[in-house]
Structure 1
Amino acid sequence: MGTVKRIVRKGSLLGEMGFIKGGGNVNWFPGHMAAATRAIRDRLKLSDFVIEVRDARIPLSSANNELQSMLVGKKRVIALNKKELANPNIMHKWIRYFDSREQDCLSINAHSKSSVKKLLDLVEFKLKERISREPTLLVMVVGVPNVGKSALINSIQQIASNRFPLQEKRKRATVGPLPGVTQDIAGFKIAHGPSIYVLDTPGVLVPSIPDIETGLKLAVAGSVKDSIVGEERIVQYILALLSIRGTPVHWKNLDERETEGLNLNPVDKPDYDLKNLVPTRRRKPPSKSDVYYIEDVVTEVQRALFVTLTEFNGDLEDEDDLENLIELQFDALQKALKVPHKTSEARTIISKKFLTLFRAGKLGTFILDDVP
């Protein structure tokens, strides 16, 4: 993986995030996130249980390292969200990894009510010991930006409204009594006898990303704004990873429309909008021809990457060879995505379209972190 890191370090590298060529820390911590961290720290003291939401595609990289020290001694479950976008053949290894560390972990799809109910059932089970002696219990939801925390909260709210139809949309849970502390916190009641409330928190990015690759993985998942890192550099990183690891085997079967990763009618709405891949001249709702268009785009992109990799004769461990391959892949993607050659911003357009497909899971399911 060292070759991948060297590729992404070339050129003017992510100056706004404070990346330095030798590795080093990444400092990108807006003031409102610092304030949110302080608020979370205060509320954690009042919470009986924590749901830490992470992105299933980056189970370690999406951990909020700033919060880990605060979570010591707290009962919690790690909810690996967006499991529909993560490789299931690797996901079970991650579950085993967390089990081996005696850490409760559950892979979920925040848009699926049945999936979220399983999470809430686990939370209630874990709080069983305290039910007999505490009249009110508080569960806190934390996570870095774009791990799907808001989607999870929305699903919890809908489940809560079904369980307790008379409660207000955002019930106020009174916390206390604590010495010198009287505080109301917005939350949703999910159980009665005792009353269990789920509290929302802002998405907070760690103030210091430990290394370049972690920062890029967060950028791939959308936890760092594309404009800060640059879409082209994010795609360079993805292409380098796919090339080093080898493109998915199922890409060989490009004539089979049922192939994994080509399902264009998922039960759950994707987090990323595909409308920019449909011809912009349409003003009416997407039709069947639009769906076929997107399907053709997916197939062409997969074919372009698979062919360039299989026909490549260079050494993928060589920095210059890998960089040449990525250039060939960009050229192939330009044709597959039908981006005009004379467009001055062609690389940016290619990168944005590719990221849309990748993040929506149309190119397949992936886990970027390696199991320790």
Structure 2
Amino acid sequence: MHIHWFPGHMAKAQRMIREQLGLIDVVIELLDARIPASSANPVITELIGAKPRVIALNKSDLAETAQTTEWLNHFRSMGFTTVTLDASSGKGTKELVSKVEQEASEKIAKLTAKGIKARAVRAMILGIPNVGKSSLINRLLGTATAKTGDKPGVTRGQQWLKVGKNLELLDTPGVLWPKMDDQEVAFRLAVTGAIKDDIYDMEKVISSLVALLKENYSDRLCERYKLQQEDLPEDAAELLALIGAKRGCLRSGGIVDYEKVRRIILTDFRSGKLGKFTLDIPYNNQ
């Protein structure tokens, strides 16, 4: 299951970020709360350098609460300001704005002390594709002015956006790193939607996901797809066939439509219908 994706616009995005960082007071790094480590792009860390940063764990409604708390503690122990978000509902956005303004307060105070007129805080939102940047911006603005979609790579250009009187946001395209040597990380990015579904082997990825669910969350599989624990097969393909039969994903002659079953399981996983998941173990639990 080798997954690599670094289209040309990713390299362009990096150049754009470098060019604009000098204008920025605070960077908002948006991470997926289900995969806080896997969605932390080392390229972004390199680009940011010593710039003040607020780490926001988005999609916290889809992650396990106790695990999210441990991840927050981990980042705070490293000296980062953190916040949890559910950009789709707006939960946590007010706290995010407050913390961004706090991070920039020292710089703004220095500018004022030099006789420079007080201005709005300038922040840049960075994160991997499909982590929820556009949804967050829409919530902050109170209107769907930033193009959004359920596929990674929807946002292409840059735009300055005014949030209230004291904050200006620079939106940027999602950035993935050039090479994914860790295929476990690649798997987590794939199943959570950070990588386009049409560039990886769906069969292998969903087989791995089903195996993970059976090993650690078999009760959820049984509840969602009306299965019995004692009937769960060991083989992932057989389990897919069982779920397909239960959901009526059959072609003529009673043949299981595996592609349809895979899509159903992936959609249920991503939408939270199979429950909350945190695929990255907090470092202090490893």
Q: State the TM-score, normalizing by the size of structure 1.
A: 0.65
**1:358 pairs with 2:277:** no
Q: What is the letter of the counterpart of residue 304 of structure 1?
A: L
Structure 1 residue 251 displacement after superposition: 6.8
Q: What is the letter of the counterpart of residue 242 of structure 1?
A: L
Structure 1 residue 114 displacement after superposition: 4.3
Which residue among 125, 134, 147 is the counterpart of 1:141? Answer: 125
**Partners in 2 of 1:120 and 1:330 — Cα distance?**
44
Kindly indicate whether the alpha-carbon contact (under 8 Å) linking 2:34 and 2:278 is maintained by their aligned counterparts in 1.
yes
**Partners in 2 of 1:329 and 1:114 — Cα distance?**
37
Kindly indicate whether the alpha-carbon contact (under 8 Å) linking 2:221 and 2:227 is maintained by their aligned counterparts in 1.
no
Kindly indicate whether the alpha-carbon contact (under 8 Å) linking 1:305 and 1:332 is maintained by their aligned counterparts in 2.
no
SS in 2 for 1:243: helix
**1:92 pairs with 2:69:** yes
Which residue among 71, 81, 84 is the counterpart of 2:48? Answer: 71
Structure 1 residue 78 displacement after superposition: 1.1
**1:151 pairs with 2:119:** no
Q: What is the letter of the counterpart of residue 353 of structure 1?
A: I
Q: Closer, same or farther in 2 for the Cα pair 1:214/1:52, shift >3 Å?
A: same
Q: What is the letter of the counterpart of residue 243 of structure 2?
A: L
Aligned to 2:247: 337
Structure 1 residue 307 displacement after superposition: 4.6
Q: What is the letter of the counterpart of residue 162 of structure 2?
A: K
SS in 2 for 1:78: strand
Q: What is the letter of the counterpart of residue 242 of structure 2?
A: A
Structure 1 residue 243 displacement after superposition: 2.9
Larger mean Cα displacement after TM superposition, 239-248 or 205-214? 239-248
Which residue among 282, 299, 304 is the counterpart of 2:227? Answer: 304
Kindly indicate whether the alpha-carbon contact (under 8 Å) linking 2:83 and 2:92 is maintained by their aligned counterparts in 1.
no
Structure 1 unaligned blocks of 5 or more? 1-12, 18-26, 162-168, 171-184, 255-298, 313-323
Aligned to 1:216: 187
SS in 1 for 2:129: coil
Kindly indicate whether the alpha-carbon contact (under 8 Å) linking 1:308 and 1:328 is maintained by their aligned counterparts in 2.
no
SS in 1 for 2:92: helix
Structure 1 residue 187 displacement after superposition: 1.7
**1:348 pairs with 2:268:** no
Give the share of equivalent positions with the same residue, in percent. Answer: 35
* Structure whose CA Rg is larger: 1
How is 1:11-30 mapped onto 2 (pairs within 5 angstroms)?
13-14=1-2, 17=3, 27-30=4-7
Kindly indicate whether the alpha-carbon contact (under 8 Å) linking 1:110 and 1:151 is maintained by their aligned counterparts in 2.
yes
Number of aligned residues = 264
Which residue among 209, 212, 215 is the counterpart of 1:238? Answer: 209
Q: Closer, same or farther in 2 for the Cα pair 1:47/1:333, shift >3 Å?
A: same
**Partners in 1 of 2:254 and 2:73 — Cα distance?**
48
**Partners in 1 of 2:63 and 2:89 — Cα distance?**
15
**Partners in 1 of 2:21 and 2:272 — Cα distance?**
34
Q: Closer, same or farther in 2 for the Cα pair 1:330/1:150, shift >3 Å?
A: same
**Partners in 2 of 1:332 and 1:344 — Cα distance?**
11
Structure 2 unaligned blocks of 5 or more? 112-117, 147-157
Structure 1 residue 52 displacement after superposition: 0.6
Structure 1 residue 352 displacement after superposition: 0.6
What stretches of structure 1 move > 6 A for 4+ residues in a row?
none
**Partners in 2 of 1:225 and 1:103 — Cα distance?**
30
Kindly indicate whether the alpha-carbon contact (under 8 Å) linking 2:213 and 2:221 is maintained by their aligned counterparts in 1.
no
Kindly indicate whether the alpha-carbon contact (under 8 Å) linking 1:231 and 1:352 is maintained by their aligned counterparts in 2.
no
SS in 1 for 2:142: helix
Which residue among 18, 21, 29 is the counterpart of 1:44? Answer: 21
